Amino acid sequence: MSTTVLRTQDIARIVHATGLRPFLERLLATMEADFRRWPEFDKSPRSAAHSASGVIELMPIADATLYAFKYVNGHPLNHLRQLPTVMAFGVLAEVATGLPLLLSEMTLTTALRTAVASVMAARRLARPGSRTMALIGNGAQGEFQALAFHLLMGIDEIRLYDLDAEANAKLIRNLRACPALKLRACASTAEAVRGADIVTTATADKTLATIITPEMLEPGMHVNGVGGDCPGKTELHRGVLERAARVFVEYAPQTRIEGDIQQMPADFPVTELWRVLRGEAPGRSDEREITVFDSVGFALEDFSALRLLRDCALELGLGEPLALVPELDDPKNLFGQLSAEPLRPAKAPVTPRPSVQAA
């Protein structure tokens, strides 16, 4: 009854063994299939513990067969402590028994699934034939967004802007092995956005920012807002949302709390993306419409990623077993796990010495 454990290096091995493009394509197909099954899932907004420095969240979801959750944080200043701003792990379990099947890292996986979710929306909402994207905020998520849009949508030019010039340089260095993708560092958000078919914002600061303003919008533009993902954290001026022909979200009850639409009235109209994928609602209607995907990340995207990782691990023979659940000859005799080893009296507790204050 062991649980399979996947570490970060296992995820890297899966991607390398599969190939980046085929892996992204397979994740996209898995995610789209799950979104089309939207009514089959037990859904809820994620549970969040907010603090002045960030947020820690649990993201659960289940269908009739599998249950999944992700633990994830968001701490914008973690880079000052040499820590990632996002750290995550996830669990995939069997609904019929509650047995945990997979325990996986999800820091790297979250970056991959977020980029694929962006493409999943943009394929329906961006103008056909889009080739140019502005990428605002080029921290940990930047390369993943750039490659997903290049490999899955044919974006061949990306205009980069970040307050930290080194972030742009880092992204360009990391993607230098992709010569078909033209990367251009820009001096401002306005310069990067001008003439872009798609605008992706992926900033980390926990603040009510207005990175994209109405005067930056152009007919036919698709705005992919990735970084506004908790209360008090936005990237789009409310005028951007008001000018859009339609605003699309993953799960409205969660996005109204955490997304850019937290600025808007409670009855501000939005369309959940699953309805577009199922053909129940329109995406883009004409080439001059402005569309917005207010993406905060939803548990179903993690469910899809965990399902795919489990399949890939089985195919490639990756992962290590972990005795996370005790194996019992008599399931009612849990105490027997303790009595398997002699119980020794505890040592007397050591009373700590009082601290000595400096004179």
pLDDT in tens, 98-108: 999 999 999 99
How far apart are alpha carbons 310 and 69 in whole angstroms? 14
Q: At what angle do helices 107-125 and 20-36 cross, to 10 degrees?
A: 70
Residue-level pLDDT at 207: 85
**Identity of the residue numbered 37:** R
Mean pLDDT to the nearest integer, 127-145 = 96
Q: What is the pTM of this model?
A: 0.92
How far apart are alpha carbons 78 and 88 in whole angstroms? 14
Alpha-carbon torsion 262, 264, 268, 273, what sign?
Answer: negative
How far apart are alpha carbons 20 and 22 in whole angstroms? 6
**Identity of the residue numbered 244:** A
Neighbouring residues of 89: CB distance < 8 A, sequence distance ≥ 6: 70, 71, 103, 104, 105, 106, 107
Degrees (nearest 5) of the Cα angle 319, 300, 121? 115
- Other beta carbons within 10 angstroms of residue 117's beta carbon come to 27
Least confident window among 90-94, 216-220, 286-290, 340-344 = 340-344
How far apart are alpha carbons 262 and 209 in whole angstroms? 12
Residue 158 has pLDDT above 90, yes or no: yes
pLDDT in tens, 36-65: 999 999 999 999 998 988 889 999 999 999
Domains of the chain: 3-108+302-322 (3.30.1780.10), 115-298 (3.40.50.720)
How far apart are alpha carbons 279 and 151 in whole angstroms? 25
DSSP 214: G
Residue 227 has pLDDT above 70, yes or no: yes
Residue 91 has pLDDT above 50, yes or no: yes
Q: Which among 258, 202, 263 is positioned nearest to 227, based on CA atoms?
A: 202
Q: Which among 230, 284, 291 is positioned nearest to 255, based on CA atoms?
A: 230
Share of the chain above pLDDT 70, in %: 94
Share of the chain above pLDDT 90, in %: 83
Residue-level pLDDT at 353: 59
Residue 355 has pLDDT above 60, yes or no: no
Residue-level pLDDT at 331: 92
Active site residues: 229
* Strands in the chain per DSSP E: 3-6, 47-50, 55-62, 66-74, 88-94, 100-105, 132-136, 157-161, 182-185, 198-201, 208-212, 222-225, 234-236, 246-249, 271-272, 291-294, 320-322
3-state class (DSSP) for residue 125: helix
How far apart are alpha carbons 16 and 9 in whole angstroms? 10
Mean pLDDT to the nearest integer, 8-37 = 98
Residue 357 has pLDDT above 70, yes or no: no
- The structure tokens 């990632």 sit at 84
pLDDT-derived band at 79 (thresholds 50, 70, 90) equals confident
